[in-house]
Amino acid sequence: ALWFGDSRPLLQGIVCVCGVTTCIGFYGTQVLAPYAFRGLVDAWAVQPVLRVAPRWFAVQLEAASETQLFWAAARLADFFIHLVPTMTAAYIFRHAATASALIASLPTNLLWLLCTGQKTLAGTNAIYCIEPDLPNHVWRFIYGSHWAFCGAALVCLAVAP
């Protein structure tokens, strides 16, 4: 949305809304399934490095990945990967979070589901690779919180003076 400047307020509004709902879904999942963060870090960072790294490094990384310091560093990295970008986008484009942007944002998580080629919400774990699989109620929260936020924000806009 930054590349289009001020000429694309609808796109900026969608970015704002999806930034907020991404945070709600990502961090809400960690409340509902505390093992999810470890599963993501393991699947997306540790295991890929272990597969390609020299043996001496892989042994060190595997040992380090069991320490509190490693997980503190992973949380710090997560802060800059998920929280800062999404909340920065929400803040920068908050002026564009209009009813039109909220309505246009509604189908974006269904578009994601379609693009994954999966037929179920839980099927998208084929991309995330969280082990053990998240329970269905967590997947419903992830996708449902997007719709709930958009709906609640629309109601707030409708009743605001």
The position carrying tokens 């003076």 is 161
pLDDT of residue 2: 54
Q: Quick one: which H or E segment has residue 41? A: helix 35-41
The position carrying tokens 């307020």 is 9
Pairwise CA distance, residues 122 & 61, whole Å: 30
Residue 79 vs residues 26, 82, 85, 130: alpha-carbon distances, Å: 12, 6, 9, 19
Q: Which of 78, 115, 87 is nearest to 17 (CA)?
A: 87
Q: What mean pLDDT is reported for the chain?
A: 92
Encoded tokens for 19:
């930034």
pLDDT of residue 109: 84
pLDDT of residue 124: 86
Q: Average pLDDT for residues 55-84, to the nearest whole number? A: 97
**77-104: per-residue pLDDT in tens?**
999 999 999 999 999 999 999 999 999 9
Is residue 146 scored above 80 in pLDDT? yes
pLDDT of residue 4: 55
C-alpha 129, offset from chain centre? 14
Which residue type sits at 152? A
Longest Cα–Cα distance of the chain, Å, equals 64
